[in-house]
């Protein structure tokens, strides 16, 4: 079990209002983010990744609500606080200084009427991190420089629309980093970018995590992003964590049929794009009554039990867990060393 935890999400449930009823879209998940670690949360569109992210800093849309669980924040002093229970004013204080967030489309979070430098400076002023306006401006220029904005002093006066998508994402990262947060939540930050810019932005996020000894929760549907950035990864399907492991271990020994499907649908050089692998099948229609594994209607390995009973998270090796009756029990004796034994990873899962 890891000692150096930063955020421990336990049994988090997020529900949305549907025809006067609350329907869970995140179903009691456990995620641990250790200090100085990039944790990936991967899964296809609609599986509940953004709802998870937005519940951390209380920015869920009005139709969604946290209906269960806790989010324990471990201060460096040793004090622990449940940020899920914080009042609006208290969580706002933490956003920017403890927790910062970047999104897929920076234009939706940037003010089009204000120059980028002043927008970043506002973070410093609001959180009273710098009282002197001139010094604040100098810090912003320095930050623009460190996120790779050329001619930062001149670009301070630029408006968001004058910048390219990649540059706007760099501005968002500068705005996120200016308060030296301990956790960066990045929700599909490179999905709207071309591959070259994507690689540059991923490299920048990695560098920022190292320079600022910061942790990150990297949300993506792209296994390529996971492999280039994350230390540890959680695989989510329909609001449930299906598998979790150190990244190298997950790529070497994927056990859940869904994880295997995600990995085999990565386009590879030389493959005919017309024959891209897909995951066939449907999701259960009556989700409320269905008690089995939600992936079983798309699974080729399923057994009778899968249809009637959701699997627990089976422990496969020290930090590798899988929620699958077939591969979980079959691999329970698997004892290979993890690739990077020096690092202690999250073992938030409940043992099966
Ligand atoms: N604007 C919306 N209106 C209604 N339901 C929504 C909306 N956004 C999300 N949901 C519901 O919440 C689920 C999880 O959404 P989300 O967390 O945004 O998925 P992800 O980020 O993994 O693509 C969706 O499958 C959908 O059922
Ligand atoms: Mg999303």
What is the spatial distance between Cα 285 and Cα 270, in angstroms, rounded to a whole number?
37
Q: Best mutation site among 51, 258, 288 for ligand 1, i.e. most ligand atoms within 8 A of its Cβ?
A: 51
Residue 142 lies in a domain: yes
pLDDT, tens digit (0-9, with 9 covering 90-100), for 174-203 = 999 999 999 999 999 998 888 899 999 999
Among candidate residues 16, 71, 82, the one with its CA nearest the CA of residue 48: 16
Strand (E) or helix (H) holding 97:
none
State the virtual CA torsion across 40, 43, 49, 50 in degrees, nearest 10: 100
One pLDDT digit (tens) per residue for the chain, 352 residues: 556 999 999 999 999 998 888 999 999 999 999 999 999 999 999 999 999 999 999 999 999 999 999 999 999 899 999 999 999 999 998 988 899 999 888 778 899 999 999 999 999 998 889 999 999 999 999 999 999 999 999 999 999 999 999 999 999 999 999 999 999 999 999 988 888 999 999 999 999 999 999 999 999 999 999 999 999 999 999 999 999 999 999 999 999 999 999 998 776 666 665 666 666 766 666 666 778 898 988 888 777 788 888 999 999 998 999 999 999 876 543 333 333 333 333 333 333 3
Half-sphere exposure (Cβ direction) of 321: Cα atoms closer than 13 Å? 26
Structural domain includes residue 340: no
Distance in angstroms (rounded) separating the CA atoms of residues 275 and 258 = 19
CA 45 – ligand 2 centroid, Å: 7
Any domain includes 176: yes
**CA-CA distance, 290 to 284, in Å (whole number)?**
7
For a ligand 1 pocket test, name from 18, 24, 25 the mutation site with the most ligand atoms within 8 angstroms of its C-beta. Answer: 25
Which atom of ligand 1 is nearest to 43's Cα?
22
> How many domains would you assign to the chain?
1
Contact predicate 238/52, CB 8 Å: no
Residue list, ligand 1 pocket, CB within 6 Å: 16, 25, 43, 45-51
DSSP state of 271: S
- Ligand 1 centroid–CA 233 distance in Å is 21
Atom of ligand 1 nearest to the CA of 219: 21
User: Among 83, 65, 66, which Cα is nearest to 74's?
Assistant: 83
Please name the helix (run of DSSP H) or strand (run of DSSP E) that holds residue 22, with its range, or none.
strand 21-34
Q: What is the pLDDT of residue 6?
A: 97
Residue whose entry in the numeric block shows the structure tokens 């099948």: 281
User: Shortest CA distance to 316 belongs to which of 293, 343, 292, 345?
Assistant: 345
Cα–Cα distance between 176 and 170 in angstroms, integer? 10
Which DSSP symbol is given to 95? B
Distance 335 CA to ligand 1 centre (A): 37
- What is the extent of the structural domain holding 120? 106-180
Dihedral of alpha carbons 50, 52, 56, 62, sign: positive
- Give the pLDDT confidence score for residue 330 in this predicted structure: 63
Asked if the structure places residue 112 within a domain, the reply is: yes
Distance, CA of 293 to CA of 305 (rounded, Å)? 9
Q: Which atom of ligand 1 is nearest to the CA of 187?
A: 21
| Phi and psi torsions of 305, nearest 5° | -55, -35
Ligand nearest to the CA of 54: 1
Q: What pLDDT score does 96 carry?
A: 82
What does the block give as tokens for 52? 């998870």
Residues 72 and 284: their CA atoms lie apart, in Å, by: 33
**333 burial level (CB within 10 Å; 0-12, 13-18, 19+):** exposed
Cα separation of 209 and 220, whole Å? 17
Whether 27 is in a domain gets the answer no
| 152 three-class SS | helix
Q: What DSSP string describes 241-296?
A: EEEEEEHHHHHHS--SHHHHHHHHTS--TTS-GGG-----S---S-TTT--S-TTG
**Minimum-distance ligand to the CA of 191?**
2
Cα 46 to ligand 2 centre (Å): 7
Chain centre distance of CA 335 = 28
Closest ligand relative to 25 C-alpha: 1
> Residue 230: what pLDDT?
96
Question: Is residue 277 domain-resident?
Answer: no
Task: Identify whether 18 is part of a domain.
Answer: no
336 inside domain:
no
């Amino acid at each position: 079990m890891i000692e150096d935890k930063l955020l421990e999400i336990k049994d988090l449930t997020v529900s949305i209002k549907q025809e006067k009823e609350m329907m869970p879209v995140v179903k009691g998940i456990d995620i641990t983010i250790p200090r100085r670690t990039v944790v990936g949360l991967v899964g296809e569109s609609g599986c509940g990744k953004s709802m998870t992210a937005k519940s951390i800093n209380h920015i869920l849309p009005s139709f969604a609500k946290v209906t269960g669980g806790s989010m324990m924040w471990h201060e460096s002093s040793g004090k622990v606080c449940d940020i899920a229970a914080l009042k609006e004013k208290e969580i706002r204080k933490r956003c920017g200084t403890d927790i910062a967030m970047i999104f897929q489309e920076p234009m939706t979070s940037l003010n089009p009427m204000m120059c980028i430098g002043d927008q970043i400076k506002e973070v410093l002023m609001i959180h009273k991190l710098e009282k002197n306006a001139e010094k604040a401006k100098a810090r912003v220029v320095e930050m623009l420089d460190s996120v790779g904005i050329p001619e930062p002093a001149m670009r301070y006066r630029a408006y968001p629309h004058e910048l390219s998508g990649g540059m706007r994402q760099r501005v968002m990262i500068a705005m996120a980093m200016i308060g030296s947060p301990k956790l960066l939540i990045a929700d599909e930050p490179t999905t709207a970018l071309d591959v070259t810019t994507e690689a540059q932005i991923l490299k920048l996020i990695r560098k920022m995590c190292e320079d600022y000894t910061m942790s990150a929760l990297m949300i993506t549907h792209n296994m390529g992003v996971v492999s280039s950035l994350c230390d540890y990864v959680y695989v989510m399907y329909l609001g449930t964590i299906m598998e979790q492991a150190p990244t190298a271990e997950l790529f070497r020994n994927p056990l859940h049929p869904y994880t295997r499907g995600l990995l085999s649908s990565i386009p590879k050089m030389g493959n005919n794009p017309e024959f891209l692998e897909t995951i066939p099948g449907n999701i259960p229609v009556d989700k409320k009554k269905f008690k089995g594994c939600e992936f079983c209607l798309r699974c080729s390995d399923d057994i009778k039990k899968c249809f009637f009973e959701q699997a627990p998270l089976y422990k496969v090796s020290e930090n590798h867990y899988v929620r699958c009756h077939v591969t979980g029990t079959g691999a329970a004796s698997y004892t290979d060393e993890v690739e990077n034994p020096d690092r202690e990873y999250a073992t938030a899962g409940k043992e099966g």
